[in-house]
Structure 1
Amino acid sequence: MAPITATVYNAFSSPSAQGNPAAVIVLDSPDEGAAVVQDGQDFPCALYPPDAQLQAISTQINLPMTAFVLPLPGGSCADYAVRWFNVTNEGPLCGHATLAMSEHLFNTVANPPPTFRYLTRFHGVISASQHQNPLGDGKLVGIEFPELTNIPAVPKGSETWEELRRLFEEATSSLWQGHGEPLGVYKQDQFLLIEFSPELDLAGVQMEPQKLSSLHSYAYIFQISAQPSEQIHSRVMHCFPGHADEDIATGSAHRAIIPHALGNPETRARLDKYHPQHEGDALRVAQQSPKGGELVVQWLREEKSVRIMGRVDSVGEKTVEASVN
């Protein structure tokens, strides 16, 4: 099999945070004469190598996520199609790998457009552009994901609440009492949103994601930060059998966290209490995983989307013995 070279980046990095590694592989353009992909059509899986090959490559690369970027014929609804694979399966949406591949394209494509549009398999068309940092100097690559709002609350004391309490108390060093009890729990389909008190040492909570695998959920855990340097602290757990771990730094979770922090009246009151000088719809986030990540996230209310921005550092290249022909 011919060797394949992937470019590796750390997304959402900073001087104090490693960020999240992702590999980027830009596939060859489809054969001349390939049909234009129109909006609303099924995702063009047939233009990609077989799934087994994509999975084999991702498994060998052995990073949290690999983005396979496919140029689309001119006149299509997007510039590229994108699929994301981790070491065990295909991911439906990935913020840090999208940020990495956008940084890669802006730096390698001759005369890049102001905005790249990506066709995804499960979430339609998303976009990436370079933006002035709303909370600092300079420009950052920003990706725009659809907002995730109106997740129903789990009533305290309900059967679901008590089951979550049991699982989390078994998986963490924190009991659901005092500052360790969630201020709010919200659940819909595979998404679980949990807000903790600003007084909890969220980074210090020891979590064993494997003990949460029965949730079959993405657990988005956050608090209003009591620190002046950032407004939000977050942690993200992938809680699935065979794939249970903590995400180093993730963008997609914040399409739920940031609209909730700004839109939920009780959470917004906590934000105003701890950050009375804050204005606007952009928040600085420090993800509290052991390696850490830093994000700037802006809620675009009228567009019903969330712009996720961050720094991306080039790491180098990684070669695997696998073919995508």
Structure 2
Amino acid sequence: MKLKLFQVDAFAEKTFSGNPAAVVPLEEWLPSHLMQNIARENNLSETVFFVPRGTNFEIRWFTPTTEVNLCGHATLAAAFVLFEHIGFNGKEIVFHSRSGKLTVKKEEKLIVLNFPTSEINAIKLPENSAKAFGIEPQQCFKGRENLLFVFRNEKEIQNLEPDFSCLMKMEERGIIATAPSVDYDFVSRFFAPREGIDEDPVTGSAHTVLIPYWSQKSGKTKLVARQISKRGGTLYCKNLGNRVEIGGNAITYLIGEIDI
């Protein structure tokens, strides 16, 4: 069996930046264990699969070790492949997923995701938070699947050298570190060692937590964010209340074929 594979740098203006995702279009679902093996072989933070259902699509995402409930950059990559390579000519792509209905549209030069907002609640700092980051965060919030740690400034985020053995002990799927920025409304980094990803380059799903937090903090509904990983990526954000919009660019790195 031969399958088409696209590798797309999402939230990127040029290759070798943003977050790479493997995109595998399907006509029907493969067995879950086979999709997991493909994701493991690709060894990227996410491999995304989608199948057509009428005029809409079903979508699933896999890290090298597990299937996840929501992934932003791989959804953006899948939409980019549909728009640019498969010839989807509608105004809006509708994906059905474990996290409900997700929509994607083209808006000028951006691809814009519309995702459900994650509720956040302030909690006490975990006992090992200072050891985990090498510096004490100011605050901690719990989202749907992630913990959000707030730091004083961008330099603290840049200089973080996490102890991943400590982060592994935290029960949540992912760990977000964020702070205000001079050049952007906020910056962040994202760590998910429990999902087989020590640090994710650019994480759209994390912004379902970050956007409501920084929107409330700043009083702004439109924000520009930067994830300051080594690859880095810029995200154009809008708070819609119970939904958020997350916009970014994408570029094709590779078009190939899987033979299994």
Partner of 2:47: 66
Aligned to 2:110: 140
Residues 170 and 320 of structure 1, relative CA distance in 2, 3 Å threshold: farther
The reply on whether 1:152 has 2:121 as its aligned counterpart is yes
The alignment status of 1:233 with 2:207, answered yes or no, reads: no
SS in 2 for 1:48: coil
Cα pair 1:248 1:293 within 8 Å, conserved: yes
When the two chains are superposed, the root-mean-square deviation of aligned CA atoms in Å is 2.1
Q: What displacement does 1:188 show? A: 4.7
Runs (5+) with no aligned partner, structure 2? none
2: CA distance, partners of 1:16 / 1:234:
21
Task: Give the Å deviation of 1:300.
Answer: 1.4
Please tell me the residue identity of whatever aligns with 2:7: V
SS in structure 2 opposite 1:255?
helix
Instruction: Report the equivalent of 1:49.
Output: 30
Matched with 2:73 is 96
Post-superposition offset of 1:199: 6.1
Partner of 1:82: 59
Once the 2 structures are TM-superposed, how far is the Cα of residue 253 of structure 1 from its aligned partner?
0.5
Task: Please report how far the alpha carbon of residue 10 of structure 1 lies from its aligned counterpart in structure 2 after TM superposition.
Answer: 0.3
Task: Give the CA deviation at 1:165.
Answer: 4.2
The AA in structure 1 aligned to 2:114 is E
Question: Which residue of the other structure, out of 177, 183, 187, is the alignment partner of 1:221?
Answer: 177
Q: Which runs of 5+ in 1 are unaligned?
A: 29-46, 133-138, 156-160, 270-279
Which amino acid is the alignment partner of residue 110 of structure 2?
Answer: L
How much has 1:198 moved relative to structure 2? 2.2
Q: Mark the structure with the bigger radius of gyration.
A: 1
1:131 aligned to 2:107? yes
Matched, 1:7 2:2: no
In the aligned structure 1, how far is the partner of 2:143 from the partner of 2:110?
A: 31
Q: Is the 8 A contact 2:131 2:166 kept in 1?
A: yes
The equivalent residue for 1:274 is none
8 Å CA contact 1:285–1:295 kept in 2: the answer is: yes
- Distance verdict in 2 for CA 1:189–1:231, change over 3 Å: closer
- 1:300 is the counterpart of 2:240: yes
Cα deviation, 1:95-119, whole Å, max 9, x if unaligned, reads 0000001111111344511001001
- Report the secondary structure of 2:110's partner residue: strand
- Cα 1:292/1:17, change in 2 over 3 Å: farther
Aligned to 1:43: none
Question: For residue 124 of structure 1, what is the amino acid of its counterpart?
Answer: G
- Counterpart of 1:186 (choices 135, 141, 163) is 141
1:281 counterpart = 2:234:
no
1:170 maps onto 2:146 in alignment: no
Q: Distance in 1 between matches of 2:209 and 2:143?
A: 11
Distance, in Å, in 2 between the alignment partners of 1:60 and 1:201 is: 35
Distance 1:254 1:204 in 2: 21
Q: Is the 8 A contact 1:223 1:233 kept in 2?
A: yes
SS of equivalent to 2:162: coil
Contact 2:4 2:25 in 1 (8 A): no
Normalized per residue, the structure richer in strand is: 2
CA distance 1:283–1:204, change in 2 (3 Å):
same
Structure 1 residue 259: Cα displacement: 0.8
Using structure 1 for the length normalisation, give the TM-score.
Answer: 0.74
Q: TM-score, normalised by structure 2?
A: 0.91
Q: Which amino acid aligns with 2:221?
A: D
In structure 2, what is the equivalent of residue 262 of structure 1? 215
Deviations 1:209-253 (A, max 9, x none): 34311112111211111x2x311100111142x625111101010
1:111–1:117 distance in 2 versus 1, CA, 3 Å = closer
Distance between the aligned counterparts of 2:155 and 2:94, measured in 1? 40
Change (3 A) 1:230 1:256: same
Q: Is the 8 A contact 2:215 2:223 kept in 1?
A: no
Post-superposition shift, 1:125? 0.9
Structure 1 residues 54 and 66: CA distance shift in structure 2, 3 A: same
Instruction: Quote the sequence identity (%).
Output: 27
Partners of 2:57 and 2:95 within 8 A in 1 = yes
